[in-house]
């Protein structure tokens, strides 16, 4: 195992292959990279390539990690203009004469957030879907190829493949409107949209694979989780979508990693049934529901050596509020539950906050690397 790299350790874990040690991948995303680089969040988000910031941060702490690259859409039927007034960004999309406006607010302390969604009236949904799933959409692969080449072996950079189906709709109209829409709309209409989304994403994946060398692909999570829409809605609308994308990627010998916020015990068996290669972050309470050694051992049993477990170190109670002893104890608990299992990445329950004492991050990494 001479010359084992952070990227190789991550890929081995996704495949269930033994490495020289357990990979440790704290989610050092927006907050901590901005702190490491000494910039505010506006400069970080608008001026610094995400992949470069992650490379600097993971290299500084000599740990594994993962990130995502976002290909940009190009379409001759789409005109897009962006204006910035103070900290508010307004993006106007004109697709075949249909106008859609999205507004974001930037802040020096927090990552940006959406203040106005693409549509307010659900009757406009089909026009928005037509724009987002336009067969004429092409992608600029140059930037993501540059990112993939630029990170080398320093961490695992994955290709972003969007979100589950509920999130696709919610990103267009907002969470509350999407919940009501799914409750009120004819099921056949929703199935038609989902089928279109699946076929569009399959086509997108094919094009990306033809043009790039990404080993792993990522499905994100905004609202699509047990804690917000419940396991029944997730199973009805999002599980089939994730299954279709997973099957497509595996057919092309690529890997799938999904980010699944909140409680996950009730759907861990679904992860194994789908065959997802890696799931994170398996959060602890109150956000999640995996806290004890017994619960960790149960998750290991249910994942059945088919899905890689990534995460679980509490970002608030342990990393921010705890001390080094508490951090090390939590890491040892995870290692005990997964002893002898190659499908383990010791990570965090979502993003590491900027308030986190550096000594706690170092303790997490050090303890993970031991033994």
CATH number at residue 37: 3.20.20.210
Q: What is the pLDDT of residue 349?
A: 94
Residue ranges making up the domain that contains 346: 6-71+141-369
**Which H or E element spans position 255?**
strand 255-259
Predicted pLDDT at 42: 96
pLDDT tens for 122-148 read: 999 999 999 999 999 999 899 999 999
Residues 103-114 pLDDT 10s = 999 999 999 999
Backbone torsions φ then ψ of 165, nearest 5 degrees: -60, -45
Tens of pLDDT along 56-97? 999 999 999 999 999 988 898 899 999 999 999 999 999 999
Number of separate domains in the chain: 1
**256 within some domain:** yes
Structural domain includes residue 112: no
- Is position 127 within any domain? no
Query: pTM for this one?
Result: 0.96
102 found inside a domain: no
Pull the structure tokens for residue 193: 């949209």
Q: What pLDDT score was predicted for residue 76?
A: 86
Bridge-based pairing state of the strands 78-85 and 88-95: antiparallel
Question: Is residue 101 one of the residues assigned to a domain?
Answer: no
């Amino acid at each position: 195992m001479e010359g084992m790299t952070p990227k190789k350790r991550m890929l081995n874990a996704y495949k269930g292959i033994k490495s020289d040690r357990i990979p440790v991948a704290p989610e050092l995303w927006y907050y901590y990279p901005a702190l490491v680089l000494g910039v505010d969040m506006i400069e970080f988000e608008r001026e610094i390539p995400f992949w470069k910031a992650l490379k600097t941060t993971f290299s500084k702490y000599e740990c594994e990690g993962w990130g995502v690259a976002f290909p940009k859409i190009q379409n001759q039927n789409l005109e897009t203009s962006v204006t910035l007034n103070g900290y508010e960004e307004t993006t106007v999309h004109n697709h075949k004469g249909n106008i859609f406006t999205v507004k974001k607010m930037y802040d020096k302390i927090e990552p940006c957030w959406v203040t106005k969604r693409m549509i307010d009236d659900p009757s406009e949904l089909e026009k928005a879907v037509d724009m987002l799933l336009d067969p004429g959409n092409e992608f600029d692969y140059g930037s993501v190829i540059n990112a993939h080449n630029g990170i080398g072996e320093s961490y695992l950079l994955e290709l972003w493949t969007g979100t589950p189906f509920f999130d696709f709709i919610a990103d267009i109209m907002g969470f509350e409107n999407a919940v009501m829409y799914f409750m009120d709309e004819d099921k056949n209409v929703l199935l038609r949209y989902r089928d279109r989304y699946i076929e569009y994403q399959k086509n997108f994946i094919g094009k990306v694979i033809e043009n790039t060398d990404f080993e792993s692909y990522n499905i994100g999570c905004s609202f699509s989780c047990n804690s917000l829409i419940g396991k029944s809605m997730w199973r009805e609308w999002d599980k089939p979508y994730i299954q279709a994308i997973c099957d497509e990627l595996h057919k092309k010998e690529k890997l799938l990693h999904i980010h699944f916020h909140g409680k996950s015990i009730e759907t861990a068996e679904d992860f194994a049934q789908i065959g997802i290669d890696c799931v994170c972050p398996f959060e602890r309470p109150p956000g999640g529901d995996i806290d004890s050694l017994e619960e960790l051992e149960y998750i290991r049993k249910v994942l059945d050596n088919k899905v890689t477990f990534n995460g679980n170190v509490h970002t608030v109670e342990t990393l921010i509020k705890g001390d080094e002893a508490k951090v090390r104890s939590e890491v040892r608990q995870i290692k005990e539950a997964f002893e002898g299992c190659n499908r383990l990445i010791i990570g965090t329950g979502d993003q590491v906050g900027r308030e986190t004492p550096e000594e706690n991050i170092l303790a997490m990494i050090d303890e993970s690397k031991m033994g």
